[in-house]
Structure 1
Amino acid sequence: MTTTTPTVVLVHGAFADAASWAGVVTELQARGIPVLAPPNPLRGLASDAAYVASVAAQIDGPVVLAGHSYGGAVITVAGAQENVVGLVYVAAYVLEEGESLGELQGGFPDSPLATSLKQWTYPVEGGEPAVELTITEDAFPSVFAADVPVEVTKVLAAAQRPLAAGAFGEPAAAAAWKTKPAWALVSGGDRAINPEVERFGAQRAGATTVEIEGASHAVAVSRPKDVADLIAEAVRATAG
């Protein structure tokens, strides 16, 4: 019997880019696990999920999707793609079908992120400019990456990618965790997403969950081995 090792597709969230997975990619490659870290467009939940699903669809064999932060909402929808066999949530939003980020977050106290956002606009063809959000550079280290060296957080803050504000109100068209196994890592010291939001979503999805006490939202940067350990567990469990 041949065993097919799933390809891991790493989906970054808002205020970050695919380079935030660098340490995790190194760990997975060292273990012989095929991995891809595509860009997440960050323009809207439905369109971002369609893009990630299209990436998965073009990979031969099974795929495990791992999503960080808003990337968790994206993989919840994109995970409905047929060859996706598992979902890994890393300090992430785990939505229910028909639920938006705003609705999920609204059931819990706000994190410091809520008062640390800066608005920008971007052009929309044939329409009015739309709003996108970043984290203010002075708040970024403490809110996003408190356990990452300060000189690194300054680079991350300068290179962050904005999220379209409209993404917060878009309902999830599917919840792939209802039919596919899920794993979750909760960052106990997260100041971007309330850890209670992460715990609630993971529990609702029946995810195999680990919690890292004191870990910041940027846990993939500060604790890449721990993140890779959980992803590797999902790969082992779904290899067939």
Structure 2
Amino acid sequence: MSTTPTVLLVHGAFADAGSWAGVIEELQSDGIPVIAPPNPLRGLASDAAYIASLASQIDGPVVLVGHSYGGAVITVAGAAENVVGLVYVAAYVLQEGESLGELQGRFPLSPLVSNLKQWTYPVPGGDPAVEVTIAEDAFPAVFAADVPTEVTKVLAATQRPLAAGAFEETAPVAAWQTKPSWALVAGADQAINPEVERFGAKRAGATIVESEGASHAVAVSRPMEVADLIREAVRATS
């Protein structure tokens, strides 16, 4: 069994696992084992259960890394026994019993909220449920202002929707209460108010780094900065 933790990268809403490509390349160059599975984006409880199940099937310790909504997911999934650390990247850091909506509601809303587009998807045995994406014309400014235009167009076209109900689900557990955490705050984030990121990270007692001028897509625009923080977490938990 390896003593070097496996890094499990959890993407957030409006993105997919490919958004970690630059970070993965950095970690692999150091010989750090890493996987980046799809996050279903169907609800906090079910998404966290999926990620926790994956983590528990990895031999040896695991460091969970969550971007954006993925931060809420790892807060819950991090309760898995072999998870030894949590890294939040421009992410929500929930308290036990708190929802995304409640945490956001403590601070001025970001431009994301007024630029969401609603869709519906079928639910077996029930009425269609609502999911949201970012309006394509608003996507560059809201999500990825420091990413090249040609890349941003692809990100906007390939974004994955988040079930609207995820905003109201509460976290049944906050794994940071018993496990060490690190957090990167994206200083120019227009999707999550940076104050939301700072507040949650400070409340969790996380080791915090600020990425001044970084957009919400900091893992795409500044993969080395993100990887450096993950390396720190891996070294501390090895």
Partner residue in 1 for 2:18: 19
> SS at the partner of 1:221?
helix
For 1:41 and 1:183, how far apart are their aligned partners in 2? 24
Partner residue in 2 for 1:8: 7
Partner residue in 2 for 1:143: 142
User: Is 2:89 the counterpart of 1:90?
Assistant: yes
1:2-151 matched pairs, under 5 angstroms: 4-151=3-150
The share of aligned pairs that are identical, in percent, is 82
For 1:120 and 1:162, how far apart are their aligned partners in 2? 9
Partner residue in 1 for 2:228: 229
For 2:133 and 2:2, how far apart are their aligned partners in 1? 43
What's the offset of the Cα at 1:6? Answer: 0.1
1:83-120 C-alpha deviation (Å, 9 max, x unpaired): 00000000000000000000000000000001010000
Provide TM-score, normalisation by structure 1: 0.98
What's the offset of the Cα at 1:215? Answer: 0.1
Structure 2 runs not aligned, ≥5 long: none
For 1:23 and 1:41, how far apart are their aligned partners in 2? 22
User: Is 2:214 the counterpart of 1:215?
Assistant: yes
> SS at the partner of 1:184?
strand
What's the offset of the Cα at 1:217? Answer: 0.1
Aligned residues: 238
User: Is 2:175 the counterpart of 1:176?
Assistant: yes
Which ranges of 4 or more aligned residues in structure 1 deviate by more than 4 Å? none
What's the offset of the Cα at 1:141? Answer: 0.3
> SS at the partner of 2:192?
coil
For 1:214 and 1:163, how far apart are their aligned partners in 2? 26
> SS at the partner of 1:119?
strand
RMSD: 0.8
Structure 1 runs not aligned, ≥5 long: none
Provide TM-score, normalisation by structure 2: 0.99
Contact 2:2–2:60 (8 Å) recurs in 1: no
User: Is 2:189 the counterpart of 1:190?
Assistant: yes
1:45-90 C-alpha deviation (Å, 9 max, x unpaired): 0000000000001100000000000000000000000000000000
Amino acid at match of 1:187: A
> SS at the partner of 2:156?
helix
> SS at the partner of 2:84?
strand
What's the offset of the Cα at 1:3? Answer: 7.0
